[in-house]
Amino acid sequence: MRDAGRGRTESSTAALAVRVRERLDEVGYLLFTDARFESVVSLVVGGPVAGSWWGHPMGGQIYAVAQILDDSSDLLEIPLFFHKTTLVHRRMWPAVVSVAAPRSPWQLADLAPAARALLRQVDREGELRMDGVEAVPLPRQRTTGDLARELERRLLVVGRSVHTPSGRHVKVLASWPHWKSTHAFRGRAVGKEAARAQIEKRAGELFPMVAVRRVVPWGRSGERA
Q: Which amino acid is at 152?
A: E
Kindly report, residue by residue over 42-83, the tens digit of the pLDDT: 999 998 888 889 889 888 999 999 999 988 888 999 999 999
Instruction: Indicate the domain borders of the chain.
Output: 2-99+195-221, 102-182
Q: What is the pLDDT of residue 221?
A: 59
Kindly report, residue by residue over 142-151, the tens digit of the pLDDT: 888 999 999 9
Q: What is the pLDDT of residue 225?
A: 41
- In angstroms, the CA 207 to CA 99 distance is 20
According to DSSP, the residues that pair with 218 across neighbouring strands are: none
pTM value is 0.89
Whether residue 9 is predicted with pLDDT greater than 70 in this model: the reply is no
DSSP 3-23: HHHHHHHHHHHHHHHHHHHHH
Chain centroid to Cα 111, Å, comes to: 20
Residues in the chain: 225
Q: Which amino acid is at 52?
A: S
Q: What is the pLDDT of residue 8?
A: 44
Q: What is the pLDDT of residue 146?
A: 92
More confident residue, 5 or 106: 106
Whether residue 163 is predicted with pLDDT greater than 90 in this model: the reply is no
Cβ-contact 170, 131 below 8 angstroms: yes
CATH topology of domain 102-182: Arc Repressor Mutant, subunit A (1.10.10)
